[in-house]
Structure 1
Amino acid sequence: MIWKLSLTGMKTRLRDYMILFSGLAIAAAIFYMFESLATNKEFLEHSNTVSVVGIVFHLGTVLLGIITFVYILYANSFLMTLRQKTYAMLMMLGARTSKIAQMIFIETFVAGIAATVVGMVVGVGLTALVNRLLVNQMGIVVSHYTPFNTAALLVTLIFFIAVFLIASMINASSIVKKSILQLLNEQKTPTRFKRNPFLLFIETIIGLLSLAIGYYFLAEIVKFQIMGLAIALVTIILGSYLIFHSVVIFVISLLKKSNAVVFKKLNNFTLSQLSFRVRDFTQILSMVSILFALALGALTVGLGFRNQIMTFTNTAATYDIVLNNAQKIDQQKIDTLDPTLNVTYDQKYDDTTIYYIKEQFDQHPFEQKDQSVFLSGEVNDKTLKYDAAKMEQDEQAQKALQDLELPEQKEKQIKLISQADFDTLGLDESQLQVINVTDFTTILPQIKTLIEENEKNNPSLGGAEGQNSFSQKYYVYNLYNTFFSGFEFMGFFLGIAFLTMLASCLMFKILSSANSDAIRYEMLRKIGTRQSLLKRAIFKEIGILFLLPGILGSIHVLFGLQMFKNFLSQPYHNIWIPFTIFIVLYALYYFATIWIYTSIVLPKEKRN
């Protein structure tokens, strides 16, 4: 009987459960995807550098798990609020609180597990897609990979079962502790709206100061580290709550005093709707603004890391291609690359010394990126040039030149001599060739072919695992591409997950009052209010509720990006792209909310 009542109750609130269901399914799908990619042995064992992706996706799993836990608790509390009148009626009919607790447990647990299972199924397909994108982007080959990961499935299932067990117990205990009258009348009791103007002013000042403190600690996160992050989170959450609690009330009060605003169309009705239960809206708007910032921030930072690949590659490697024993390479292959720089340094060597020609360095100075700029975390556009005289005097320049030599040559002394003296040396001769091209990324296949031929000619290089791997720009690019691609995908999907959570929470809050709002819209319709005005009022009211957390969340992101200034050389570069993507997705949820809300407060037969 308990199961039948629980399932019947879920059926009556199917629309609300579907909103929760969609958010949970997406969260479960992304959670499984992160865990699957993080534990994919074949993918991670392809090379040591790719194992970094495992760490990145494990981090994404932890972050998503924390936010999902908070979301589930919050979203389920909304569902319990919507169902509490039913529970009260059952209590009036003699149902024991233990049975009510069982119903709540079943409803919460069944909805959660169903969403988790669907999410894992979606996650398998999503994992296959993302794996293919990552493999293609990183330029690696992974065979025999299956997106069905048993370990990831178990971790996902165990995590969500644990979370829903906790949520079920919390929901059950909170409902059974309330009296029948509380359950029946709680939603009908409006929050007091009139507030002392002086207290509103104090709240506004404290809220602004809290946000300022939070933004400061975010900007100086490297200095304060974990402590700074904790302080920033507390102060930003507090500041967001106080700003909404004070500014929203103040603005509504101010607008309601203006006859020009109040007596225009249905503005007074809309303002009254917003002021109703303002404390509950304050809480949800504060939470949504934080989730908005997390979602948009994750998307922005993820795309920002994508922009770092070539920035860091160009900073770490001066030349696009380095060829040892270049005399063995067919130079026509080099010509097809249309190089912007093509310099060859002749070498002769004995057991202790490598000889170079002075005139070649004077004609084409050796170039090296300023590593002091690289180590400081700034964009490196500065290139140091060394002619023969500087090369002879600067040990760091000689060390940079040795980094491009073969492993067996590194310990030998570098000596620059004239062309005439060089010609008289009866020693083995080779060539070191350095090349730059117009667009490195567009000709990666040709560059890879040349590097493989170079390694075939010089077995001591050892490929990507060799000692000289970091001197070859191709391998530097692969390293950063692997690292930042992981962050890019993690940021994108975390942004999508957070978006679905914040949007569904806001939809819950708005739709939870739709049935009581329908009475007021019915009264307006009966007194002759035009249908177009009613729809416009709905657009305004819901639009404001979506816009307010969006504005504050965007401000959080703009200041919060300062936290990544030591990791991203240009954190605000092309920021309009993630903002545009997010606004479009956010707008879709806005219109979906309007559509559902309108179908409740203005039934179809009354809208015709």
Structure 2
Amino acid sequence: MYSKIAFSNVKKSIRDYTIYFLTLTFGICLFYMFNSVQAQQAVLKLNESQKSMMHLMSVIINWISVFVAVILGFLIIYANQFLMKRRHKEMGIYLLLGMEKRQVSKILLIETLLIGFFALIAGLIAGVFLSQGLAMLTAKMFAVQMKEFKFVFSQTAFIQTIMYFAIIFIIVMIFNGITISKYKLINLLNAAKKNQKTRLKNPVLSVILFVMSIACIGIAYHLITKNQMLGVDNDFKMSIILGVIGTFLFFFSLSGFLLELAKRNKKFYYNGLNLFVLRQINSKITTTFVSMSMLCLMLFLAISAFATGSGLASSVKTDLEDLTKFDYSFYSLSQKGYQDELQQKFVKKMNSLGLSIEEDAKETLPITVYQNGVFKQCRYKMEPLLKGREKYSDYTKDYVKNLYEVPLTFVKLSEYNKLRKAIGEKELTLKTDEYILNCNYANLIPTMEKTAKDKQKITLDGKTYKIKYELQKDTFMVAPVKTDMGTVVLNDNIIQTLKIDNSTLYLNINWKGNAKKVSERYNNHLKELIRTGKMQNSPYSMAISKEEVYEQSTGLSTIMTYIAIYIGLVFLITCAAVLALQQLSENADNIEKYQLLRKIGTSQKMVNRAIKAQIILYFCLPLSLALVHSYVGIKTASILISTLGQINISEAVVQSLIIVIAIYVGYMIATYIGSKNMLQEKR
């Protein structure tokens, strides 16, 4: 009997369950898709390095999935409370007819199981099929081929999804039972007549608090822009605290402020049903300002995750050609003072370890980077190159001033020209009183370009040198990122006269034959030497190949993109679903008000327009502030991200906004249709 009633109730209330069911299905689908990443290895041609990246991505996503499950759990409980609220009167009638609370609880338990079961089935089916597309996307992002098109099913992800959502629904059912046990019959029957309490009635206080909220948010923006996310200092902490406080105050005071503003424009206020819509919005926001503030912050995180995640992924992939001009690079350990025979010693030592560089290399291209001291103790500093040009960097003026103390590095013209010749660039010449400036660090390039344009002179040990040529942006070795803040190229004999504390050799190699295979053989041999302990007192600190840089870049890019999409989508559907459920709940509570509007002669067209305006306003208010937060956050984060490479943040933002608007508009339309149907049922 209970099952029959529950099934009948679900069938009868299918419109009420639509948003809940679709959100739940979408969440389950996402959960399975991203947790099935590890299983995609079966159809992808991955080497060991790429497999380790896939494993790392799988581990990260598994940990994030715990957080995602908690978020979806709260969403399901919240949605379930909305559905129960819609049926207070129905449950009251059950009790009035003689049912016990445990029997009513049993009916709801069966309903919850039915909805959960069908959503789980639909979500898993969608997830299994859509994960095949994810496998193709993974292949594209890793720049690898698929072995063959093979249907991939992840048993681990399947079981994990069922387990997580089974736990969530058990908690929901327990929560429902506790809630029903506390209900009183009189409250259930009169639930529709219960008015919400308005927390802030004084319009003057609303305006004062609104101004305070804008001040808090403005100060938070100033502090985070000053900090630039370059360190977790007091400015960073205060920007977070003031941003959160400002957001809560904004929504606490917003409805009263808007209402007071609208009242001053009587033509607008008394036009159509504007008065009714504004009063409805005022009532809802004032009583739900906490949830509105939380939703705004979650939307901010969702938009920021999409934009910065995809932007960071694209920046990792940029400049790969510049970073991989050679097949292989050895990084030697830093040596004290000058080491004129460092290359020969290095090659000889590597040969003794079974690495025949002279036999395997088509050409060896060494370049030694010289330096005097570290930071404040260094003799030659970046100060003359940066001073007076701080505004040309994306960094703040104070941060650039801190870079004054960074040591200048030097390289010999002969070695520099040998590198340039190898990559097809024109060799450069210098007189005895000239130097070349090289910099490839993204955030300092505009500053250094200005330095070169200004023909900045530098003084080394009492002798002045003038700059020749425009700024050069060469990379001296195979590397995952560009890190050269400023290197001075001088004639060899002048380098020998400088007071140098240490020198580091970068030995670049272009192999004979198949470069990829030779690099792989060297990597395997070095790993074996390390494993057997034969690399003690080795002459190098690191070795990296062109292929490794590409693999690390594509792997890191894929991880960042997937995490951004996963977190962003979950946060976005959670926010949109909660806003939709709140509006449906509000309209369900105000059915009598809409009926009264029709009784006094309001046309159905005007009522529908009022519903539409209320939904659009309610959805757009948290989104509007979230977009402003995101603009400041993304702009600031892009400065940090650009240290990894050039970034087109505008493209990432546009893509993110398209996704956000598409999902948001979809939920708004669903909410409008649901609200209209709800009111038509009661006509």
1:45-124 map, 5 Å: 46-124=50-128
Q: Could you say which residue in structure 2 is the equivalent of 1:554?
A: 627
The whole-number CA distance in structure 1 between the counterparts of 2:346 and 2:560 is 45
Q: 2:190 aligns with which of 154, 168, 185?
A: 185
Residues 255, 281 of structure 2: 8 Å contact kept: no
1:556-595 map, 5 Å: 556-561=629-634, 562=636, 566-567=640-641, 569=643, 572-574=649-651, 575-595=653-673
- State the Cα deviation string for residues 372-406 of structure 1 (Å, max 9, x = none): 8899x99758674756618975999974532x24x
Shift of 1:158: 1.0
Letter of the aligned partner of 1:166 in structure 2? Answer: I
- State the Cα deviation string for residues 26-83 of structure 1 (Å, max 9, x = none): 1111111222214666568653344332234224423322321221121111111112
The whole-number CA distance in structure 2 between the counterparts of 1:158 and 1:281 is 33
Residues 190, 277 of structure 1: 8 Å contact kept: no
Shift of 1:516: 4.9
Query: Could you say if the C-alpha distance between residues 351 and 239 of structure 1 is closer, same or farther in structure 2, counting changes exceeding 3 Å?
Result: closer
1:223-262 map, 5 Å: 223-224=231-232, 239-256=246-263, 258-262=265-269
* Corresponding position: 1:128 with 2:132: yes
Shift of 1:211: 5.1
Residues 39, 153 of structure 2: 8 Å contact kept: no
Q: Could you say which residue in structure 2 is the equivalent of 1:5?
A: 5
Letter of the aligned partner of 2:162 in structure 1? Answer: L
Q: Could you say which residue in structure 1 is the equivalent of 2:168?
A: 163
1:173-212 map, 5 Å: 173-193=178-198, 195-197=201-203, 199-200=205-206, 203-204=209-210, 207=213
Query: Could you say if the C-alpha distance between residues 184 and 277 of structure 1 is closer, same or farther in structure 2, counting changes exceeding 3 Å?
Result: farther
The whole-number CA distance in structure 2 between the counterparts of 1:41 and 1:319 is 27
Over aligned residues, Cα RMSD in angstroms?
Answer: 4.4
Q: 2:506 aligns with which of 386, 401, 407?
A: 401
Moved more, 16-25 or 38-47: 38-47
Q: Could you say which residue in structure 1 is the equivalent of 2:613?
A: 540
Residues 256, 271 of structure 1: 8 Å contact kept: no
Scaled by the length of structure 1, what TM-score is found? 0.74
Moved more, 560-569 or 75-84: 560-569
Moved more, 592-601 or 71-80: 592-601
Secondary structure of 2:51's aligned partner = coil
Shift of 1:122: 1.2
Moved more, 71-80 or 58-67: 58-67
Q: Could you say which residue in structure 2 is the equivalent of 1:426?
A: none
Q: Could you say which residue in structure 2 is the equivalent of 1:331?
A: none
Scaled by the length of structure 2, what TM-score is found? 0.67
Secondary structure of 1:401's aligned partner = strand
Q: Could you say which residue in structure 2 is the equivalent of 1:265?
A: 272
Query: Could you say if the C-alpha distance between residues 503 and 267 of structure 1 is closer, same or farther in structure 2, counting changes exceeding 3 Å?
Result: same
Point out the structure with the larger helix share. Answer: 1
Shift of 1:19: 1.0
Q: Could you say which residue in structure 1 is the equivalent of 2:293?
A: 286
The whole-number CA distance in structure 1 between the counterparts of 2:495 and 2:311 is 41
Shift of 1:134: 0.7
Shift of 1:138: 0.7
The whole-number CA distance in structure 1 between the counterparts of 2:168 and 2:308 is 28
Residues 309, 564 of structure 2: 8 Å contact kept: yes
Residues 88, 180 of structure 1: 8 Å contact kept: yes
Secondary structure of 1:140's aligned partner = coil
The whole-number CA distance in structure 2 between the counterparts of 1:220 and 1:109 is 49
1:141-156 map, 5 Å: 141=145, 143=147, 146-156=151-161
Residues 294, 495 of structure 1: 8 Å contact kept: yes
Paired residues in the alignment total 537
Residues 365, 385 of structure 1: 8 Å contact kept: no
Residues 296, 582 of structure 1: 8 Å contact kept: yes
- State the Cα deviation string for residues 102-145 of structure 1 (Å, max 9, x = none): 23333223322321232122111122211211112212345486
1:342-361 map, 5 Å: 351=348, 361=415
Secondary structure of 2:506's aligned partner = helix
The whole-number CA distance in structure 1 between the counterparts of 2:588 and 2:215 is 39
Query: Could you say if the C-alpha distance between residues 272 and 243 of structure 1 is closer, same or farther in structure 2, counting changes exceeding 3 Å?
Result: same
Query: Could you say if the C-alpha distance between residues 452 and 288 of structure 1 is closer, same or farther in structure 2, counting changes exceeding 3 Å?
Result: farther
Residues 85, 183 of structure 1: 8 Å contact kept: yes
Q: What runs of 5+ residues in structure 1 fail to find an aligned partner?
A: 325-345, 406-431, 434-450
Secondary structure of 2:327's aligned partner = strand
% identical aligned pairs: 22
Query: Could you say if the C-alpha distance between residues 170 and 198 of structure 1 is closer, same or farther in structure 2, counting changes exceeding 3 Å?
Result: farther
Shift of 1:151: 1.4
Residues 369, 384 of structure 1: 8 Å contact kept: yes
The whole-number CA distance in structure 2 between the counterparts of 1:539 and 1:225 is 45
Residues 33, 127 of structure 1: 8 Å contact kept: yes
Q: Could you say which residue in structure 2 is the equivalent of 1:461?
A: 522
The whole-number CA distance in structure 2 between the counterparts of 1:477 and 1:77 is 50
Shift of 1:212: 6.5
Residues 298, 492 of structure 1: 8 Å contact kept: yes
The whole-number CA distance in structure 2 between the counterparts of 1:281 and 1:505 is 11
Shift of 1:505: 1.7
* Corresponding position: 1:597 with 2:667: no
The whole-number CA distance in structure 2 between the counterparts of 1:241 and 1:165 is 33
The whole-number CA distance in structure 1 between the counterparts of 2:413 and 2:245 is 68
Q: What runs of 5+ residues in structure 2 fail to find an aligned partner?
A: 330-342, 352-357, 359-363, 367-411, 424-436, 445-479, 528-539
Q: Could you say which residue in structure 1 is the equivalent of 2:312?
A: 305
The whole-number CA distance in structure 1 between the counterparts of 2:108 and 2:311 is 44
Q: Could you say which residue in structure 1 is the equivalent of 2:550?
A: 477
Query: Could you say if the C-alpha distance between residues 372 and 503 of structure 1 is closer, same or farther in structure 2, counting changes exceeding 3 Å?
Result: closer
Residues 255, 261 of structure 1: 8 Å contact kept: yes
Letter of the aligned partner of 1:151 in structure 2? Answer: T
